[in-house]
């Protein structure tokens, strides 16, 4: 590269290793050089570890994010649509199907929702994997197709294009295999580089906190949320964040087709109370950020308008909203062995079990089973007696049952029959 005379990877690594603050020029050079293949993976691994151990200032993180955005294209949707644009991002959890009813709900209230989503990895599910259980639906859209879907349906849920923040795609894969995923500056810049590059004018973040989330405690969730809100605000994107509980799975399903079915129930006016509550909370934040705070998303849910936008979106992306969803060939139900009140349900254990049943993947190239997953019959606060169904495992490959059941061995916590139970808050904090 032209700037290679004044910068080299070893000097940048040493600077951060020795707790120094990287200059704008150093950050610009190392991100561009790594994207171009001129900085080796082992050198970027060393730098990522130094960042994990020593952190980054707000200025460094903002510049790192800008450099990753500049590594590719940046969409501009403002002039192509006649409605305000707003997006939502979740940091990932178990049973988190909120995007599915949320995008058409916000579209029904007058915003355009360009929802660029990802695939599951490990115990957390992926929105694109869920939607691909709908026959014919496709995740890959060109920019022109994305705009067409947004104009016709008001919302689109699709994969990020190859041209958006390619530096992040390389660095994300590297962090995953070098033990450097946990760096908050690198998490924040990874998420926000793609979200800023996609061109929405407003963004709402759902930062999960708890056993089934990446951030296990409220302090670290707040730190991540604050970093991302700062990055969005500094880039001119109206950004706010909700920190939400992920100690227990959301809703009563974890798995691809199972979660689509539950999302459609929400759009039809039913569905689990926690899924409806969080969908409406995020919808209100998105509409307010988009300048449409006078619209009540509960009305659009009750009237069926959100369902209309869902059907239009699925159809516009090649799917059949009336087609039957896949059903697993094999099922196994786990029952309670004693009476009591469910006081805990470990989201992480449920996520691992669903992954082992085939709903998730260990590597990005692994296939997933659309019908695999877990149906939850008993959730925190529910009373049970001996023989009460707790959950049902779904898979096409029954030899997966033992490993899934092993993951679930301590998933449920029961108190004595009749013991009082106080439901935890779903929304833990808000940052703007």
Residues classed as catalytic: 89, 168, 175, 190, 194
380, containing H or E segment: none
d(CA 271, CA 263): 7
389-395 and 427-431 strand pairing: unpaired
In sequence order, what DSSP letters do the residues of 202-255 get, joined into one string?
EEEEEEEESTTSSB-SHHHHHHHHHHHHHHHHHTT-EEEEEEEE-SS-STTEEE
To the nearest 10°, the Cα dihedral for 8, 9, 12, 13? -150
Q: In 378-403, which positions are buried (b, 16+ CB within 10 angstroms) versus exposed (e)?
A: bbbebbbeeebebbbbbbbeeebbee
**Residue 236: is it exposed, middle or buried by C-beta count within 10 angstroms (0-12/13-18/19+)?**
exposed
In the sheet that holds 373-376, the strands lie side by side as 253-255, 373-376, 389-395, 330-335
> What one-character DSSP code corresponds to residue 271?
S
Name residues whose C-beta falls within 8 Å of residue 117's C-beta, 6 or more positions apart in sequence.
99, 126, 127, 128, 139, 157, 158, 159
CB of 36 closer than 8 Å to CB of 67: no
**Residue 89: is it exposed, middle or buried by C-beta count within 10 angstroms (0-12/13-18/19+)?**
buried
Name residues whose C-beta falls within 8 Å of residue 102's C-beta, 6 or more positions apart in sequence.
88, 113, 279, 282, 283, 286
Give the Cβ contact number of residue 217 at 10 Å. 11
> What angle (nearest 5°) sits at the alpha carbon of residue 348, between those of residues 345 and 350?
65
d(CA 432, CA 104): 24
């Amino acid at each position: 590269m032209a700037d290679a005379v004044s910068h080299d990877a070893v000097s940048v690594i040493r600077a951060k290793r020795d707790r120094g603050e990287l200059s704008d020029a150093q950050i610009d050079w190392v991100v561009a050089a790594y994207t171009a293949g001129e900085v080796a993976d082992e050198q970027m691994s060393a730098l990522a570890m130094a960042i994990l151990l020593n952190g980054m200032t707000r200025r460094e993180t903002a510049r790192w994010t800008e450099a990753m955005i500049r590594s590719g294209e940046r969409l501009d949707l403002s002039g192509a649509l006649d409605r305000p644009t707003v997006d939502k991002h979740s940091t990932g959890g178990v049973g988190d199907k909120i995007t599915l009813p949320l995008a058409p709900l916000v579209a029904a209230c007058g915003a355009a929702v360009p929802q660029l989503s990802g695939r599951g990895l490990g115990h957390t599910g992926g929105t694109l994997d869920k939607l691909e259980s709908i026959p014919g639906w496709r995740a890959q859209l060109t920019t022109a197709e994305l705009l067409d879907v947004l104009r016709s349906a008001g919302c689109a849920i699709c994969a990020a294009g190859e041209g958006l923040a390619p530096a992040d795609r390389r660095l994300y894969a590297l962090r995953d295999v070098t033990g450097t995923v946990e760096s908050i500056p690198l998490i924040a810049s990874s998420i926000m580089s793609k979200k800023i590059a996609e061109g929405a004018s407003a963004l709402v973040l759902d930062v999960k906190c708890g056993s089934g989330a990446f951030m296990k405690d409220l302090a670290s969730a707040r730190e991540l949320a604050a970093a991302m809100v700062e990055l969005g605000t500094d880039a001119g994107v109206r950004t706010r964040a909700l920190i939400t509980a992920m100690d227990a799975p959301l809703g009563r399903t974890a798995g691809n087709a199972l979660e689509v079915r539950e999302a459609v129930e929400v759009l039809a006016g039913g569905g689990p109370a926690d899924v409806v509550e969080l969908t409406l909370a995020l919808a209100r934040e998105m509409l307010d950020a988009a300048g449409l705070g006078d619209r009540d998303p509960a009305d659009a849910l009750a009237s069926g308008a959100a369902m209309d936008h869902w059907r239009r979106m699925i159809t516009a992306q090649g799917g059949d909203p009336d087609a039957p969803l896949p059903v697993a060939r094999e099922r196994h139900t786990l029952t309670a062995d004693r009476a009591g009140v469910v006081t805990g349900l470990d989201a992480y254990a449920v996520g691992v079990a669903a992954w082992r049943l085939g709903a998730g993947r260990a590597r990005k190239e692994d296939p997933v089973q659309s019908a695999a997953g877990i149906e939850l019959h008993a959730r925190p606060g529910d009373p049970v007696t001996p023989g009460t169904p707790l959950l049902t495992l779904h898979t096409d490959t029954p030899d997966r049952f033992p490993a899934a059941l092993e993951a679930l061995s301590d998933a449920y916590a029961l108190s004595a029959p009749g013991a009082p139970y106080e439901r935890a808050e779903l929304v833990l904090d808000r940052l703007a």
